[in-house]
Structures are given as structure tokens and as C-alpha cells.
Amino acid sequence: MVKGKKIILGISGSIAAYKAAHLTRLLVKAGAEVQVLMTRAATDFITPLTLSTLSKRPVLSDFHAEESWNNHVELGLWADVLVLAPLTATTLAKLASGLADNVLVATYLSARCPVFFAPAMDVDMWKHPSTQRNVQLLESYGNRLIPVGFGELASGLTGEGRMAEPEEIVALLNDFFSEGQPLAGKRALVTAGPTYEAIDPVRFIGNYSSGKMGVAIAERLAALGAQVDLILGPSSLNPVHPHIRLHRVRSAQEMYEASLAVFDQTDMAVLSAAVADYRPANPASEKIKKDKADMRIDLESTPDIAAALGARKKAGQVLVGFALETENELENARAKRQKKNLDFIVLNSLRDAGAGFHHDTNKITLVFEGNKTEEFQLKSKREVADDIVAALIRFV
């Protein structure tokens, strides 16, 4: 719970800044110590006097004032959590790019504690690819998004972009602090993304996997305290988290070798990568010329990482695989679970709208021993990762 926790509340210049007063009051009432930081624009919306009275501490807003100058480093070490609420598009962009021209961004860069951010802006600003990219960047740094709400906005428009309600933010922080770190001291292996199998130096056989599902799982495991080795095939994602060690690989063979190198030291492994089943048997060392009317490529099997780890698995190790199916889904998933010696398998069917490679959402069914299944609704991949990790924790 937030009682006794040291919380930095960073407020930037949105009309939702008025909600920060209520948030401060709720946190102080719940027994937290709250240090408020404001951007200069935020002080146009709500006075520092209001917030210093509610937080019972001086508010820092002027970067060049003597008391603020060095405080960002000290504060970054002092806090148990940094909450950015409301977070404007401008400050979000500064955080994403590390542009530390005010005390709030400088503290963000110095902070070693978990960071939560609650954006607030007009619907079109929120939907703009630039904003969405910056949100993704912050998430890839391990920061946690407090989702925006839907409804009436200060502009008069209706849509997404409202800052989460202060009560929701307090509930989320309470969950965060009471959840603790159930996986502290545990090691996890996660494979994610596609593999590329070379045909020649410039061509490959690959697939559409983005790596999003596996990266979300790795981040969830890390947030719960596990040390994670994330073995990621070619993917544009770049997860950064103090508990995640990233190993970038290309081919199934490289993924296999990287996985075997760490598996014996791990307590759990989640194999979400879409590994190629076949690779060109004799990749050409020079670019293949277009001098024949047709051509054939001989393929050979790649190593099955899941099966290899299943065969090596010792008592106490938990192994989870994925099955992406287009027909006879449950039957195929059950057979795969058994054949690869997995503790459970995550089934997603391409027949379900919103599931699979091209989406930010997924719809899964977990298949356990003895044909036991657990079915879930369509959710964001981040929420699906939470469900998978919750099931995994029952085995650890």
C-alpha cells in the first residue's frame, strides 16, 4: 500500500493539472510522503501554493532556483515511485528524448525507481503517431502507462485523452506496492519475435511476428522481480529494463544456442517466439542471380527449441509454449503441450478477430495437463501478458 511510501508527483501543463490537487490529497491522506514537481506551464493551471499546502512540502518548479538545482539527483534516489500526472504531449516528448530542460524531466532521468505516467491531452493529440510513438518509447524504457480515459474533453470534443481519475491512480499504486515482487530471486528465459533463415546474403525466409507478446511477458516478469534473459529475433522493439538482459538473434539456430546457454540456470521459460520450422539447407554465400526461369530451395528442419528444453527440463523448472493455430486448435495445442513437455501452452487462433501477429490485442486459451483449459477475452497484449504470468506464478 502507499502508506509510508515516498512518491514524487510530476505535474505538467494540462488543464487536468487541477486533478493533481485531489491526487495529492488522496495520497497524503493514505499516509504517503508526496514531493510535488511542476513544469512552469503547470503553474499556469494550478498554483504551487495549493500543492505545497496539500503535500506539506515545498513544491519544486524552477530549475534554476538554488533549492532545485541539485535536487533532481537526490530526489531520483529518494523516491519509491515517480508518478507523472497529468503528462502533456510536450513533456512526454521531452521524456522520450531525454531533453532535460526542467526539473521534472531532469528528475525523471535521474530516477532509479519505477515510473508511472498518466497522459492527458486532446483526442487528436493523443492519437497522433508522434504521441503514440513516444508512449511506446516510455513503455520500452520500463515505465508504466496509466491508460487515458474516454469521455468529454476540455476542448469540447469527446474521445480518448482524459487523465485517469485520481482514485484510479491511487488504486493502481496500492496494487503495485502490495503486489511486491513475487518473482524476486528467480530467473526467467523468454524467446520472442520471428526468426530469419538466410537464403543468400540478402534474402531470408521469415514471418510476421512482431515480438510484442513476448516482450510484454518479459516486462511483466521483470516488473515482478525476475531476472529475465530475453532472446529476441529480428524486431523493431527495444525493451529497456534493469531486470531484462536482451540477446538479439537472427536465426532459429542462434535462438536455440542462446536459449540452451541460459536454460539450466533458469526457473521458468516462456517460448513465445515464432521460430521457423525449416531453413534453406544450403544458403548461398553470394547473392543468387535471376538467370533461371524457375528455382527451388531445399529446406531442412530447424532445431525445435521448445522440444529441446522440454527434454532437458528438471523438477522445479516451468516451461510454457505457444500454439498459433488455424484449425483443430485445441487438439493441436494439447498434442504440442504433451510432445514438448510443456507445463502449459498458450493457444491463440488466427480465426479470432484481433488475435495473432498483426494486432496489439490477443485472445488466448491456456491449455494445461489433463485437458484443463482456461479461456480469456480479447485484451491488450500487455494484459494478456499479465494473465499468462499469473498462471505461470502458480507453478513457481
Catalytic positions = 207
Tell me how far, at minimum, the Cβ of 393 lies from ligand C5P, in Å: 19
| Least distance from ligand C5P to the Cβ atom of residue 216, Å | 15
Is residue 336 within the footprint of ligand C5P (CB under 6 A)?
Answer: yes
Choice between 148 and 271, CB closer to ligand C5P? 271
List the one residue out of 151, 115, 111, 148 whose CA is nearest residue 132.
148
CB of 28 to ligand C5P, least distance (A): 47
- Our CB check for ligand C5P shows the closer of 115 and 306 to be 306
Shortest Cβ 236–ligand C5P spacing (Å): 19
Among 169, 189, 306, 355, binds ligand C5P (CB under 6 A): 306
Applying CB under 6 A, the span of 23-31, 125-133, 300-308, 311-319 interacting with ligand C5P comes to 300-308
Given candidates 34, 271, 319, 391, which one binds ligand C5P under the rule CB under 6 A?
Answer: 271
Binding status of residue 349 toward ligand C5P by CB under 6 A: no
State the nearest-atom distance from the C-beta of 199 to ligand C5P, in Å.
18
Interface with ligand C5P, residue 189, by CB under 6 A = no
**Region binding ligand C5P by CB under 6 A among candidate stretches 143-151, 163-171, 223-231, 303-311:** 303-311
252 binds ligand C5P (CB under 6 A): yes
Which three three-digit cell numbers place residue 221? 516478469
Nearest distance from C-beta of residue 183 to ligand C5P, angstroms = 20
Single residue of 10, 13, 321, 356 touching ligand C5P by CB under 6 A: 321
- The residue assigned the cell 483449459 is 373
Nearer to ligand C5P by Cβ, of 196 and 322: the residue is: 322
Question: For ligand C5P, which residue of 106, 170, 173, 275 counts as binding (CB under 6 A)?
Answer: 275
The distance from CA 18 to its chain's CA centroid, rounded to whole angstroms, is 29
Which one of the spans 80-88, 134-142, 168-176, 302-310 is the region binding ligand C5P (CB under 6 A)?
302-310
Nearer to ligand C5P, 60 or 230 (CB): 230
Residue 302 is a binding residue for ligand C5P (CB under 6 A): yes
Interacting residues with ligand C5P (CB under 6 A): 191, 252, 271-273, 275, 277, 302, 304-306, 321-323, 336
